[in-house]
Structure 1
Amino acid sequence: MRGTTVLPGTPCAAPKAGDPPMHRLELRLPDDVPFAAGSFDAVGPLSRAAFPHRHTFHEIVHVTSGTGTHVVDLARWPLSPPHLGVVLPGQVHRWEDAEGLDGTVVLFTEDFLLDHPGDRDLLRRLGERPWHTLDGPTHARTARLMAELVEEYRHGADGFATVLRSLLHVLLVRTARLPGPGQAGPPPAGPPPGRTAAVAEEFARLTARTGAEGRTVRECAELIGVTPGYLTEAVRAATGRTPGDLLRAARTREAQRLLIGTGLSIRQVAARVGFDDPAYFCRFFRRETGRSPGDFRKHHDRRAPSLEDDRPRP
């Protein structure tokens, strides 16, 4: 996926003024695989970034020690390790007041999932329940698997990319088995395989991308290569919701991210998510969330640093 990886030392990308910085995956060599694994220290200081930012890649983090809070979009998880967490591309996250943060970080782009294309859907479902506090046996199994991923990545022996993909697949499947809060068992399986499921999966990929918030159902159908009617049937069969419902949800989610993760004005947030009329955006946002954009921002204001104001601070 173009633009998702860079060579070491390349600065963070900020697509538009005021947006959260966009971190891209650093590769050791220009033709290296889009994957990295290591401790927080080995991955680098950005792995502990305290400021709101996004990724172009997936991140799985096994937290073994530390205090503070992990913040992803609107969710906040106080650290009481061991934890296993998943951060999806486009989500705004940061480590708040973190001290002694340690563990293993696995980073990879969607392009890396060549051998197991079904893992894309698995990751999206994991994104709905992305934070787990592990019991002793699960923590031990996860630590062993993470150590294997780090060792295989570090040594880079013949066939290492295939081994990494296989180990990553095991990690994703095991993570999907973990019950979420209030669940007695793993989440329900995704939609059955077939063209309908493939269309629904491609629609989910479109709506998950940053910048896709302003698209219409017809535009999404044209990009996928189906009629709007077929897209509606496929998405409803897979999710129980219409494409229009999910597009509105994606638009609302992105607006929420920008309201609490940046210093953009409400007018600028409206423009970012495809509204020419700020007043119409405010009505839309209130209808979807029950709050005005201003009230929502005040309710979630935790004094994250503004990313629009570049002036030096005292």
Structure 2
Amino acid sequence: MRTASPLELHRLDVPAPQTLPFSIGTFDTIGPLSRAPFPHRHTFHEIVYVTAGTGEHVIDLHSRPIDPPNLGILTAGQVHHWDRAHGVDGRVLLLEDSFLLDRPGDRDLLRRLAEERPWQTPTPDTAAQIGDILDEMQREFHARRTGMASILRAYLHILLTRAARSFDREPAPAPPATDTPGARFLRLLDDPTTATGMTVAQAAAELGLTPGHLAESVRKSTGRTPGELLRAARTLEAKRLLTGTDLTVAAIARAVGFNDPAYFCRFFRRETGTSPGAFRHHTHTTPAESKEPPGKHHAHRDPSIAHPTNGT
């Protein structure tokens, strides 16, 4: 069953008088949306460390088996849900992009991990390190002492760096770039509304570049052209809407920047090898059949920490 409306958008609800765009807690203290069984996306980044539970975590159309311990990393704009999940427990870390505004390397590494390693089963040594880091982060967050934000950013840097280098003997992602034009372009693609409604020339203008300079920087960073990446972003967003909503193909075409549904269908077939209708029929997510009342998802909700809220 798909949701009957456009994908829900969850925002980070930061309680007054706190203003830090960051939160950490257990699945229970963060609240019911931390285990949402229906496709949705966030305006914030999310890192989950699952220490118990069964089922699957579906991230951008890919089902990841829950086999604790698992580390999951999602960036703002990605679509996910928990499928047939039972007994899921562990830690949830939420942060808005502004939390890392002065740390572009960490922002880029988080995005790269979300793209290349969104769901991992760490080795025992790495699992112990992750648990220790998250314990320290949660203690620091709840102590609310001077310098808390700086310490949390430092721990987050360690967490991301160890996540990048220590899983299952896989080669770690390349070191994150500094705040280059190519890196800034990739961050534009994290916002589906931007990625689906923007041309290469508009993206270049947004970044204060010529299209040629943008193309050179993006190719150096990724080996691909801005046009290729924009088409890939449009295709991914179309897939998200086809599998996570009951919007018509015509409505999805408009949502991803096509005024002509027939042209959208040709574009989609060229990019994927199949039609939108066939893709929806054969490749769809399977969220839970109903949304339980919030009270059935958690033991209690800590009013002192930030929580995701339904922004639709």
TM-score range, shorter chain: 0.7 to 0.9
Q: Tell me the amino acid that sits aligned with residue 193 of structure 2.
A: G
> Contact between 2:197 and 2:257, CA under 8 Å: does it hold in 1?
yes
- Name which of 73, 78, 83 aligns with 2:60: 73
What's the counterpart of residue 189 of structure 1? 175
Task: Indicate whether 1:200 and 2:188 are aligned.
Answer: no
Asked if structure 1 preserves the Cα contact closer than 8 Å seen for 2:61 and 2:285, the reply is no
Q: Which runs of 5+ in 2 are unaligned?
A: 291-312
Tell me by how many angstroms 1:306 deviates.
9.5
**In 2, Cα distance between equivalents of 1:125 and 1:167:** 18
Report if the CA contact (8 A) 1:59-1:106 is conserved.
Answer: yes
Aligned twin of 1:132 = 120
- How far residue 202 of structure 1 moved from its aligned partner, in angstroms, is 1.0
Q: Please give the alpha-carbon distance, in whole angstroms, between the structure 2 residues aligned to 1:46 and 1:237.
A: 39
TM-score, normalised relative to structure 1: 0.87
Q: Pick from 277, 290, 296: which aligns with 2:273?
A: 290
Q: 1:283 to 1:48 in 2, by over 3 A?
A: same
Residues 259 and 297, structure 1, Cα contact 8 Å, conserved in 2: yes
Give deviations 1:103-153, integer Å, cap 9, x for gaps: 000000110014422111111210122110122111111111111111111
Larger RCO (alpha carbons 8 Å, 6+ apart): 2
- Is residue 85 from structure 1 mapped to residue 68 from structure 2 by the alignment? no
Alignment of 1:215-230 (within 5 A): 215-230=198-213
Task: Give the structure 2 partner of residue 62 of structure 1.
Answer: 49
Query: Which structure 1 residue ranges, 5 or more long, are not aligned?
Result: 1-16, 308-314
Which amino acid in the other structure matches residue 136 of structure 2? Answer: E
Residues 1:171 and 2:159 are matched in the alignment: yes
Aligned to 2:293: none
- 2:193 is the alignment partner of 1:211: yes
With over 3 angstroms needed to count, the CA separation of the structure-2 counterparts of 1:66 and 1:287, relative to structure 1, is same
Displacement after TM superposition at 1:301 (Å): 2.8
2:242–2:276 CA contact under 8 A, matched in 1: yes
Alignment of 1:136-155 (within 5 A): 136-155=124-143
The number of aligned residues is: 285
The equivalent residue for 2:34 is 47
Match of 2:54, SS state, is: strand
Q: Which deviations, in whole Å up to 9, do the C-alpha atoms of 1:246-288 show, x marking residues without a partner?
A: 0000000100111101111111110100000101000000100
Letter in 2 for 1:76: S
Counterpart amino acid of residue 218 in structure 1 = A
Over the aligned positions, Cα root-mean-square deviation in angstroms equals 1.8
Tell me by how many angstroms 1:239 deviates.
Answer: 0.7
| Residues 50 and 71 in structure 2, CA contact (< 8 A), matched pair in contact too | yes
CA contact (8 A) 1:179 1:187 kept: no
Identity across matched positions, percent: 52
Aligned to 1:246: 229
